[in-house]
Amino acid sequence: MRPHFGTRLAAAMEEHGPLCVGLDPSADLLSRWGLPDTPDGLRSLGEAVLEAAEGRCAAVKPQSAFYERHGAAGVAVLEEVLAGCRDRGLLSVLDVKRGDIGSTMAGYAEAYLAEGRPLAADSVTLSPYLGYGSLRPAVELARRGGRGVWVLGLTSNPEGRDVQLVGRPSVAARVVAEVARDNAGLAPFGDVGLVVGATLGATPGELGVDVVAAAAPVLAPGVGAQGAGAADVARTFAGMTERVLVPVSRDVLSAGPDAVALRDRVSRWSEELREALARAR
């Protein structure tokens, strides 16, 4: 039986640092790499990125949208990417942001979190806007299999605040309180993570959202192309930096297709983030 996801993630970050390489093979990126915008193009890019990521970061986050563009053939490549992560000892964060009524959520949970399913990942992103309770089938299935979920809390895009910071306590604060209940008693942190952008310009606490108390690992997008840097991550998550996993996609991928340049970019972000977060402890 696998240990719970928080333990697995903590071990991966201890060994490889907080970087999570993002895999967002957009048409634009494939063209910059001189690759066709086809399933074969997705496959070549994915193999090169996994090669560069292996042993240099804790996790890889494929963005499902860019694979789904190609229908069944694109999704088949996504399955290969997830298998490649398993083979190379990289934790996978499948970014699909699923959320639905409980009965349908059970179907999504089986697709992404059940042992042996072609799209099974180590962890998956979920949207709580049908109510946090509707995510229960995914939280439970993930937990039984040593996998994790990442629930949208305070997203990195500026529009997110119009929904997430409404009310007192805010929508985000209520979601985080539910996550805290699910993570109670789990150490070093829980298996229900939170997505909190590195672009907030404030700590979550300053926005009235107590992420520290939720014992949740934090997936902190917004670094690189969206404008945040390692110092922003350290400032935003001061006091909980040991649980922050930082996905960087476009900025890493823009270093390719040259394999050495790609590896160097992964190593540079890895060191920069590791040092900045260690300083903020």
Ligand X SMILES: O=c1ccn([C@@H]2O[C@H](COP(=O)(O)O)[C@@H](O)[C@H]2O)c(=O)[nH]1
Non-local CB neighbours of 185 within 8 Å, separated by 6+ positions = none
Name the one range near ligand X by CB under 6 A: 2-10, 113-121, 218-226, 232-240.
218-226
Name the one range near ligand X by CB under 6 A: 74-82, 128-136, 163-171, 223-231.
223-231
Between 94 and 277, whose beta carbon lies closer to ligand X?
94
DSSP 8-state symbol, 202: S
Binds ligand X (CB under 6 A): choice among 123, 155, 164, 236: 155
3-state DSSP assignment of residue 271: helix
How far is it, in rounded angstroms, from Cα 167 to Cα 183?
24
Both tokens assigned to 151: 């629930």
Question: Is residue 232 involved in binding ligand X (CB under 6 A)?
Answer: no
- Angle at CA 55, nearest 5°, toward 94 and 73? 35
Question: Is residue 156 involved in binding ligand X (CB under 6 A)?
Answer: yes
> Under a CB-based contact definition with an 8 Å cutoff, are residues 92 and 53 in contact?
no
Binds ligand X (CB under 6 A): choice among 6, 22, 41, 190: 22
Question: Is residue 226 involved in binding ligand X (CB under 6 A)?
Answer: yes
Question: Is residue 77 involved in binding ligand X (CB under 6 A)?
Answer: no
Name the one range near ligand X by CB under 6 A: 110-118, 130-138, 231-239, 247-255.
247-255
Non-local CB neighbours of 181 within 8 Å, separated by 6+ positions = none
Question: Is residue 221 involved in binding ligand X (CB under 6 A)?
Answer: yes
Residue 83: count of CB within 10 angstroms of its CB: 13
Between 54 and 95, whose beta carbon lies closer to ligand X?
95
Least distance CB 187 / ligand X (angstroms): 26
Least distance CB 145 / ligand X (angstroms): 23
Binds ligand X (CB under 6 A): choice among 195, 233, 277, 280: 195
Given 4, 56, 97, 147, the catalytic residue? 97
Both tokens assigned to 170: 């805010």
Residue type, 276: A
Between 4 and 218, whose beta carbon lies closer to ligand X?
218
Whether residue 61 lies in the annotated active site: no
Binds ligand X (CB under 6 A): choice among 63, 170, 183, 241: 63
Task: Break the chain down into helix, strand, coil percent, rounded to 5.
Answer: 50, 15, 35
Taking Cα atoms as reference points, which of 129, 127, 138 lies closest to residue 95?
127
**C-alpha separations of 94 from 124, 164, 196, 200 in Å:** 5, 22, 16, 23
Name the one range near ligand X by CB under 6 A: 25-33, 228-236, 244-252, 254-262.
244-252
Name residues contacting ligand X, limited to 104-133 (CB under 6 A). Answer: none
Element (H, E) at 249: none
Binds ligand X (CB under 6 A): choice among 197, 204, 217, 256: 197
Q: Give catalytic residues, as residue numbers.
A: 97
Q: Which residues bind ligand X (CB under 6 A)?
A: 22, 24, 63, 95, 155-157, 195, 197, 221, 224-226, 247-250
